Chains A and B, each alone.
Chain A
């Protein structure tokens, strides 16, 4: 089969690989119909995530057709059209039994602090991902779900991470009616978090980014006010001014490890890999939220420490909430919202690439060329 393969920082190509085998009785093999590149894939692409091995196939956002099932699989059949949450999880460990699917203890030998994620290095379990023609899906009875007839592949692939994560982030923020919610980052996750804050009754939603085309999307798609941090000497002061000196009730951080806006932080983390991630956005969140407020962290960081302003968080009495989203737990409610016409996930898609053009896709996404927000990948067998 054809599969995207990592060759080292900033280098990927398509190679011929063996079609994945059933390695466990509850495995399935899925033929990928649609995959996506995620902002967090760029951390792998830039060589920031420890134990990213040459030959690894990225891709934790994919939907497809069940091609093969293991002997113990009961809930899926060959031919089913399924969406697969980006989390690999068992369903029965201590954490899964409590709904913490993203924190499963039974799927990642390489680390106990991280659950399993498709195509996200060996630090998340060493599973090849879905930017390929086929992918191994462990615990086929647990994670994947049949896609309702009425939902398109393009919409479904956004359920596997971006929409589920954005919505999850608004929940973490504990939005109550009339809250002023600031969302840092106008990528797909930030845009969905902004939309979700409205669902939860926000009174104002302000999206912060430095790319004008993304802020335009935040105004149109997410009905938000916008702040371009590049136009402000001090974006925290700008946000304080916009909130009558109070600060936002809730801040959702949807940026993560490669946050820009502070040269030292950005270069030491994103370029020199001396930090687990550049905490610029996280520090802005801590500074811009009101005292007693909530910061919801969706941004992905590496396992090495980052220079976070913890004293401010303590002195302000903040609630910091965070996790990788248990994507499938969000699905029933999100499907209701989509069916009610409140959301159309694929509205954030800007580009579509053949799998064979994967290097180009990563470059366009990484360098933010051509107004890129969300690129989809279409395998040739799809």
Chain B
């Protein structure tokens, strides 16, 4: 078809579409679309300042080296701490956002953070519980078989338990081997 100038005919006319689909064509005119044009300086945001007040920095807040200063407002949800904190701080202080090392270090920090947290939880009154925290206990009530029947993505889901349990199994194997090596000394 594209070998000629003609556009392929549509299965339905505008009138048929208007009759079948609620609101068909209501935003046909680009002028009524909020993003047209994309950049506009006449929008009312509700801000009543030229420069926002500065939030108090109560601890040394890490920031991208691409920021010349700490932005006036920032999240304080989970301050850096421990080994994962050191890895993350290094990623922020040493590498810009353009560098792969920046992001790979942050991902490594995430894995260390999770391992640290799991180990720490073992000495609390509420150790991590893989059964309740992965939500797998919901399976029996949520049609586990019928929900998955004939689904092509299920073969990838098989990998999920491996990803969750794998590092722990691997860690246990390494620990046992290390202990055996020590005993052989």
**A interface residues, Cβ below 8 angstroms from B:** 7-13, 23-26, 47, 50-57, 72, 74-75, 88, 90-92, 96-101, 105-113, 116, 122-123, 125-128, 138-139, 141-142, 168, 171-172, 174, 177-178, 180, 196, 198-201, 203-204, 210-212, 223, 230, 243-246, 260, 263, 266-267, 270-271, 273, 276, 290, 302-305, 329-330, 332-333, 337, 340-343, 357, 359-364, 367-371
**Which chain A residues border B7 with CB–CB below 8 Å?**
178, 246
**Which chain A residues border B75 with CB–CB below 8 Å?**
116, 122, 125-128
Give the nearest-CB partner of B151 in chain A.
A211
Q: Are B46 and A91 within 8 A (Cβ)?
A: yes
25 residue pairs bridging A and B, Cβ less than 8 Å apart: A9-B114, A50-B103, A50-B110, A53-B110, A72-B48, A91-B45, A96-B45, A99-B43, A100-B38, A109-B74, A112-B97, A113-B97, A122-B78, A125-B74, A126-B76, A126-B78, A128-B75, A139-B73, A168-B35, A200-B27, A343-B23, A359-B134, A368-B153, A369-B138, A369-B147
When chains A and B are docked, how far (Å) is the Cα of A265 from the Cα of B177? 35
What is the minimal beta-carbon distance from B24 to any residue of chain A, in angstroms?
5
When chains A and B are docked, how far (Å) is the Cα of A337 from the Cα of B21? 13
Is the contact region of chain B dominated by helix, strand, or loop, or is it mixed? loop
What is the minimal beta-carbon distance from B111 to any residue of chain A, in angstroms?
8
Q: Are B143 and A340 within 8 A (Cβ)?
A: no
Q: Are B27 and A26 within 8 A (Cβ)?
A: no
Q: Are B77 and A370 within 8 A (Cβ)?
A: no
Q: Are B73 and A363 within 8 A (Cβ)?
A: no
**Which chain B residues border A210 with CB–CB below 8 Å?**
151-153
**Which chain A residues border B147 with CB–CB below 8 Å?**
367-371
Q: Are B137 and A360 within 8 A (Cβ)?
A: yes
Q: Are B142 and A122 within 8 A (Cβ)?
A: no
Q: Are B22 and A109 within 8 A (Cβ)?
A: no
Given A24-B55, A128-B75, 11 more A-B residue pairs with CB atoms under 8 Å apart are: A8-B128, A26-B52, A55-B77, A90-B72, A92-B50, A99-B38, A171-B35, A333-B32, A360-B138, A369-B139, A369-B143
Contact residue among A75, A108, A370 (Cβ-Cβ distance under 8 Å from B74): A108
Contact residue among A107, A111, A126 (Cβ-Cβ distance under 8 Å from B97): A111
When chains A and B are docked, how far (Å) is the Cα of A140 from the Cα of B142? 39
When chains A and B are docked, how far (Å) is the Cα of A26 from the Cα of B23? 38
Q: Are A364 and B138 within 8 A (Cβ)?
A: yes
